[in-house]
Structure 1
């Protein structure tokens, strides 16, 4: 049973790894900006860039899921 679902387990583990990495990056960036008294506009730009990076990975996952369900990939 484990050998049959190994690809699914690897996919879930990799997605969780990316989620934790993005969370840790966000927390460390927040800490650095708080300690260095960054202006509000700068914080918004940094958080926007971080969000767009996360959104890119989410979009990639959705596109990959749709393509694989249609037999393209």
Structure 2
């Protein structure tokens, strides 16, 4: 039974891995910004860039699922 779902397990595991990496990157950035006493404008820019990177990754996953569901990819 495990062999039937191996590809699906790999996809879920890879997505969870990337989510955890984004979380740890966010925690590291938060710590650096806090200890470096970065001004608010700089913090907003850093978080905006991090959010856009994460949003792009999520959008890629949604587009990929949509295309595969409709038989394009």
TM above 0.5, yes or no, is: yes
Unaligned 5+ runs, structure 1: none
Aligned length in residues: 73
Q: Structure 1 length as normaliser, TM-score?
A: 0.99
Q: Structure 2 length as normaliser, TM-score?
A: 0.99
How do 1:31-70 and structure 2 match up within 5 A? 31-70=31-70
What is the aligned partner in structure 1 of residue 25 from structure 2?
25
Could you give the per-residue CA deviations for residues 1-57 of structure 1, whole angstroms, max 9, x where no partner exists? Answer: 100000000000000000000000000000001001000000000000000000001
Do residues 8 (structure 1) and 8 (structure 2) align? yes
Unaligned 5+ runs, structure 2: none
Q: Which runs of 4+ in 1 moved over 6 A?
A: none
RMSD of aligned alpha carbons:
0.4
